[in-house]
Structures are given as C-alpha cells and as structure tokens.
Amino acid sequence: MSLHRPRKRFGQHFLRDRMIIQRIAATLAPRTEERVVEIGPGEGVLTRELLQYIKPLHAIELDRDLAAHLRETFPSDQLIVHQADALNFDFCQLAPPNTRLRLVGNLPYNISTPLLFHLLDQAHCIDDMLFMLQKEVVLRLAAKPDTSDYGRLSVMTQYRLRVEPLFDVPPTAFYPSPKVDSMVVRLVPRRTAPVEIKNTDDFARIVRAAFASRRKTLRNNLKETMEIGVLETLGIDPNRRAETLTLAEFAAIANAISS
C-alpha cells in the first residue's frame, strides 16, 4: 500500500515494480559529474535507486506533502528538493556553467504534453530526458508520416528532439493502476536541426493549421493561413492531408510563406 494517498488532481500513480525501477535507473546510468533532475519523484522509490548512481540529485515535486516527505527521508546533501510546478519551472537555473541537465521522471499523464513543450523551450540546457509516459503519447512522439499516430506533436517534437521508445510498462507496475499502458522513452535535443526553418513561428503556425482537422485536406485547413497556390509551386498536392507530409515538406511550406 501507499504511504501517501494518491491525488487525482495531480494525476498521481506511484511506481511500485522493483524491476522497472531498477531498469529505469540502469538505463539512465548517470555518471558522478552529471547534473540529474528528477521530475515528480512522488514517494521517492526511483529517487532511492538513482542515488545509488549519483549524489546530489535534484527533484521537482509539486505536492507539498510529498516534498516534505522527501526532505525527511533523504539527507539534504544527497537530495535537493524543489517544491514547485514543473510546468513553469526554470530548469536551466539548475545547470552549472558549460553543463547540460539530464532529466528523468514518471510524468503525470495530464501534464505530459504541455510539459514537453515547456522543456523544448529550454532544450539548450538539456542533454537528454528519460521519461515514463502514456504509451499512446510515446507512439505519437515517434510516429512516421502516413500513420494514424502521426500529428502535430510528432512533427513539432521530431524537429527538436530525437525520439527513442525503449520499453513498455504495464498498469500493474503502479499504485493505483492507471487504465492505460505506459512506456519509457529517451528524448535527446538535436544540436543540429534536421531541416532548415527560416522562422519557427511560421513553422508552428503552419503545422497547427494543417492538423486543425485531420479529415480535411491541406487546401481546406490552410486556406486561412496562406495562398494555396504556393503548395502547387512546391510540388505539394493541396488535396493531400497533413498526416501524409514529411517534416521536410512542412519546412518547405513554412519557408515559402516566410519568404
């Protein structure tokens, strides 16, 4: 049983499976000179395992009671607890000069997508991220064009990150058990963009508009955003749907309207 009553509003599901906990820590395998930050440590089961590899470890915990429990459980020179909301936390403040952070965590499902976008804005100070997410979200992050999982999240993520799905985690690994499967994924910020984009705001706007209605064609979804004739100039059929476009094609459209 849990020593803390899981709070629905925080989307809390506490990891219980010893083998999974050890596997996550061994996959991250931090070295002593690295700066590691755990997001949402909860009761500290993964925290304890990570402390076998590295000290000190930083932890971001929103729940005031859990933050207090972590401070009581672990010495302050081993675990530095930041009682804060990860969705508006400045992670880069924790990165020493000329060093990038390694992030790890079992992310609450209800904040995983907005948190990823928040972290993308700080990717310059992040080396890699090892997260447990809802499996459906991981499949969307990693999806290829012309598949049902491919969408705005896939395009925006793959422009900024390399996505490596690693292993499944069943609902039985948690208390309480979620109604969905989970998956551990490694996300690595790209230091060199896979495609050239002149204006990232234009790129984001085009991708958002193109996927506004999945059933509609580019002609319908983009008519308020750009001149449709530009698509034909680029050799892109306006009757295609957004899910068939590659990252390079989205970049070409965005660059054309930026020009």
End-of-domain residue from the set 189, 215, 233: 189
Do strands 126-134 and 101-106 pair parallel, antiparallel, or not at all (unpaired)?
parallel
Residue 110 pLDDT: 83
Q: Are 62 and 179 in a shared domain?
A: yes
Tokens 């094609």 — which residue? 249
- DSSP-derived letter for residue 217 is B
Split into its structural domains, the chain has a count of: 2
| 27 contacts 50 by C-beta, under 8 angstroms | no
Residue 159 and residue 55 share a domain: yes
The neighbouring-strand residues paired with 189 are 161
User: Do 110 and 133 belong together in one domain?
Assistant: yes
* Residue with the two structure tokens 């234009």: 202
The angle at the Cα of 37, spanning 91 to 24, to the nearest 5 degrees, equals 140
CATH number at residue 249: 1.10.8.100
pLDDT per residue, tens digit, the chain (259 aa), is 344 554 444 445 778 899 999 999 999 999 999 999 999 999 999 999 999 999 999 999 999 999 999 999 999 999 999 999 999 999 999 999 999 999 999 988 888 999 999 999 999 999 999 999 999 999 999 999 999 999 999 999 999 999 999 999 999 998 888 788 999 999 999 999 999 999 999 999 999 999 999 899 999 999 999 999 999 999 999 999 999 999 999 999 999 999 8
- Which residues share a beta bridge with 9? none
226 and 110 within one domain: no
Q: Which of 246, 248, 121, 132 is nearest to 187 (CA)?
A: 132
15, 142: one domain: yes
Instruction: Pull the structure tokens for residue 87.
Output: 């969705």
Give the pLDDT of residue 186: 98
Q: Which of 189, 208, 227 is the last residue of a domain?
A: 189
- Are 86 and 111 within 8 A, CB to CB? yes
What residue numbers bound the domain in which 205 lies? 200-258
Tokens 């755990």 belong to: 38
Q: Are residues 95 and 185 in the same domain?
A: yes
